[in-house]
Amino acid sequence: MTITITAFERSPDGGQGLARDTRVRWALEEAGQPYQVRLVSFRALKEPAHLAVHPFGQIPTYEERDLALFEEIGATVVRLAHYQHDQYFYDLCDRAGIAVWAEIPFNAQAAKDDPSTNAVEQMTELLHQCMHHPAIVCWGVQNEITLGEARRDPRPTVAELSALVRSIDPSRPTAQANLGQVTTDDPIHAMTDLDAINLYCGWYYGTADEVGPALDDLHEAKPELPLGLSEYGADAYPGYHSSSPRAGDYTEEYQAFLHETIWRDIAARPYLWSSFVWNMFDFASDARAEGGRAGRNDHHHDEHDSLRSGFRRAARDGSRLGLPGRRQRHPCGGQRDP
């Protein structure tokens, strides 16, 4: 995390008490903690951008930049998938009031010979290490685990993990992110308290306008289950543009089109308990070689003006999903009902 300290570009009072960033900088220097400085004018203190980080229009402000990016796009909940994450980020979410879906890497396929031992150990450790964090709202037990079901049926382990969570922390629900191709009658949907599905219509398959009907099919088949959209999105690279965007071209324009299309589907379905954009930041993935770049998952959104302008455009249209009393947006970001 990069820490950013605000300071005056020039002292408005000749150094008589308003420039209060020096002590914070000294503390960071003493701790050996790297930081950045963002210079602001006295007039800028009263503008909306600064008031959003300091409601009294003063300095210094203290920002963890990665978390600030989540807040900038209006995210209210983050899915920390599919791995264990640093306690530092849980601490940041606790302080910022950002809800967290925490999960273990029981991902894509279960071990052929012994699918449970390691998964149970990791789930137990995650619970004991993190259950004191008030930001955590649910425990994820699997991600797309049926992808490897030809090798080993993962369902008994999913049921075992759900029971384990309930025995250690009955105060929070269990959750799962199912593969988009899981059928509506699959018993795995009922194995956790909160069900959710990963849909990449418009990117890996189909078209973006197929997300809504796919959600409706599952909801109609299992109306008693809380249903969420645990992943959706498209890869894009900053600087890739097209006047005729299409799936697979990695342009910012296509990514923006896909998000705007799916946001409308999400807003029209109040039965959804959550929706999560995949993914907030690029990360290493050895098996990938997409868009001319090897070893990286590029479903990121942190650098894209297209994503931010899309949220702002939706806000101007009165359809922004982060409005009070409506389902909240969170990137994996997602959304949750307040």
The residues that are catalytic are: 144
Residue with tokens 């894509």: 108
Q: Cα–Cα distance between 69 and 277 in angstroms, integer? A: 14
Are the C-beta atoms of 292 and 249 separated by less than 8 Å?
Answer: no
Name the H helices within the chain: 22-31, 48-51, 65-72, 87-96, 117-130, 155-168, 211-221, 252-267, 305-316
Q: Cα–Cα distance between 160 and 123 in angstroms, integer? A: 11
Are the C-beta atoms of 112 and 151 separated by less than 8 Å?
Answer: yes
117-130 and 87-96 helices cross at what angle (nearest 10)?
A: 50
Can you read off the two tokens belonging to residue 103? 């999960």
In terms of Cα–Cα distance, which of 15, 230, 78, 53 is closest to 144? Answer: 230
Q: How many CB atoms lie within 10 A of CB 98?
A: 19
